[in-house]
Amino acid sequence: MKSTFFKNILIICCLLGWIGASAQMIKTATPKRAKGQTDVLRLACAPIPTVRVAFIGLGMRGPGAVKRMTNIPGVQVVALCDILEKNTKSANQILEKAGLPKAQEFFGDENAWRKVTALPNVDLVYVATDWKHHAQIGVQAMKDGKHVAIEVPSAMTMDEIWELINTSEKTRKHCMQLENCVYDFFELTTLNMAQQGLFGEILHAEGSYIHNLEPYWMDYWNNWRLDYNIKHRGDIYATHGMGPACLALNIHRGDKMNYLVSMDTKSVGIPAFIKEKKGEDLKDFRNGDHTMTMIRTENGKTIQIQHDVANPRPYTRMYQLTGTKGFANKYPVEGYALGAAAVGQDITPDYQKLDAEEYVSEEVKKALMIKYKHPIVKGIEEKAKQVGGHGGMDFIMDYRLIHCLQNGLPLDMDVYDLAEWSCLGPLTEISLDNGSTPVQIPDFTRGGWNKLKKVEFSE
């Protein structure tokens, strides 16, 4: 009798402990998918041999995109839009210098973009505005029958994320986040190596955006980026680190992120900068100088993401993969640590004994980069480097977007990638405001995360 009593007490304690642990996990709402609406995994649309593009936002990033598009066959830039007239005029000069027809210009107020998304002669709307307008424009563009590509991060709130997902699913239009870092040559090669098993099973990935923005704060129109850091806390610019990490771990392609925990430092660097430049002593500055976030996946993998735009550190995206048979790292040292069996006799010099405890030689690394060059890079690498855009990765991103639209292929990144990589903004803020409490990451596919088994880039 005593034994049964104590056994029951033990069961009750365990249940209470489980309930307590579960209660500590903060959850956000996942809206029910509308009747008749289905996912857009591997969405393919009718081919568009000549893609007519409209650009909205021609400040810091837009003009470079316009110039890159002039180097891609089968593209017509038909509309240019910005609040400032001078920005649209300047972008049109890029077209003229390339020997191309001038595009229709839209400017003058914050709602000028609505005329652009409504144009009948546009296939793709390319959004490079301030963060506040990203999702709003993307949603309306799809409702107006256009595919949309949106700069990073493409959504700032959970409501915006779900609205982009629902609109893409309902309209069957592509909604891609313009995450250029997945197209860096090292990241693409490493992804190919990972998919071919060189690192064994990938268990852990790291990424970051560590970039002191002090020289650039005043370049953002109407102070929008600085204002966002003043009003919000968390990793508000996570996609550069998240993109390559999530692709390597096959997120929503056989695995999914379950929850995150975030922690930050106090705010020092940016408030001091504001006081020096403007004489304002901000007492309610929200964002910490350095934010760290840990994520755990359904398959027991982990991701670490960091954000710091306030302190004098060398630029780094901290791209790193740790597998059961090897290791890849981009910053501050670019290299691979692999055993001889993984590298193969065709690459390993006879005199070099590889044991994965140190980086392979530069000679071996170069040979690996050649052997495992990602198929989508072949044929456009030299042009990408010539046209430029962060060393060529911006051109590859735009080229791939146009290539897939022209050929009716699924895009390299879908709206669920956009959601997963952008959700760190709002979800880390929730974690931080609740004492670093774990926050559940929704399954943005609403049950489809295991339909696909790996990342695929259509050729």
Q: What is the pLDDT of residues 186-236, one digit of tens each?
A: 999 999 999 999 999 999 999 999 999 999 999 999 999 999 999 999 999
C-alpha–C-alpha distance, residues 182 and 417, integer Å: 12
Query: By three-state DSSP, how is residue 280 classified?
Result: coil
CA atoms within 13 A on the CB side of 118: 6
| Angle between helix 158-171 and helix 424-433 axes, rounded to 10 deg | 150
C-alpha–C-alpha distance, residues 450 and 229, integer Å: 36
Q: What is the mean pLDDT of residues 238-248?
A: 98
> What does pLDDT average to over the chain?
94
Place of tokens 């969405």: 43
- Nearest-10 Cα torsion for 158, 161, 167, 172: -150
Nearest to 155 by CA among 170, 174, 177, 171: 177
Q: How many CB atoms are closer than 10 A to CB 107?
A: 17
400 or 22, greater pLDDT: 400
Q: What is each CA distance from 298 to 250, 258, 303, 424, in whole angstroms? A: 11, 6, 12, 17
The conformation of residue 373, written as its DSSP 8-state character, comes to -
C-alpha–C-alpha distance, residues 12 and 105, integer Å: 69
Q: What is each CA distance from 45 to 48, 81, 369, 409, 410, in whole angstroms? A: 9, 26, 33, 7, 8
30 sits in which H/E element? none
Any idea how long the chain is?
Answer: 459
Q: What is the mean pLDDT of residues 70-76?
A: 98
317 or 348, greater pLDDT: 317
Question: Residue 409's Cα: distance from chain center in Å?
Answer: 20
Q: How many CB atoms are closer than 10 A to CB 217?
A: 16
Q: What is the mean pLDDT of residues 52-78?
A: 98
pLDDT of amino acid 346: 85
CA atoms within 13 A on the CB side of 151: 22
Q: How many CB atoms are closer than 10 A to CB 208?
A: 28
Give bridge partners of residue 424 from the DSSP assignment.
Answer: none
Query: By three-state DSSP, how is residue 407 classified?
Result: helix
Q: How many CB atoms are closer than 10 A to CB 167?
A: 20
Place of tokens 């470079």: 64
CB 286 within 8 A of CB 454: no
pLDDT, one tens digit per residue, over 1-38 is: 455 555 555 555 544 444 444 558 999 999 999 999 99
pLDDT above 70 coverage of the chain, percent: 94
| Order of strands, sheet of 202-210, starting from the edge strand that comes earlier in the sequence | 335-338, 326-329, 320-323, 202-210, 302-308, 291-297, 257-264, 439-440
Confidence band of 356 (pLDDT split at 50, 70, 90): confident
C-alpha–C-alpha distance, residues 135 and 152, integer Å: 10
Q: How many CB atoms are closer than 10 A to CB 406?
A: 18
Alpha helix segments (H runs only) across 70-184: 85-97, 113-117, 131-143, 158-171
C-alpha–C-alpha distance, residues 140 and 157, integer Å: 17
What would you measure as the largest C-alpha separation in the chain, in angstroms? 92
Q: How many CB atoms are closer than 10 A to CB 435?
A: 7
CA-CA-CA-CA torsion sign (370, 376, 381, 384): negative
pLDDT, one tens digit per residue, over 265-302 is: 999 999 999 999 999 999 899 999 999 999 999 999 99
Six-digit token string for 132: 């506040």
pLDDT, one tens digit per residue, over 134-172 is: 999 999 999 999 999 999 999 999 999 999 999 999 999
Confidence band of 347 (pLDDT split at 50, 70, 90): confident
CA-CA-CA-CA torsion sign (338, 344, 346, 350): positive
pLDDT of amino acid 384: 97
Task: Tell me the whole-structure pTM to 2 decimals.
Answer: 0.94
C-alpha–C-alpha distance, residues 424 and 242, integer Å: 9
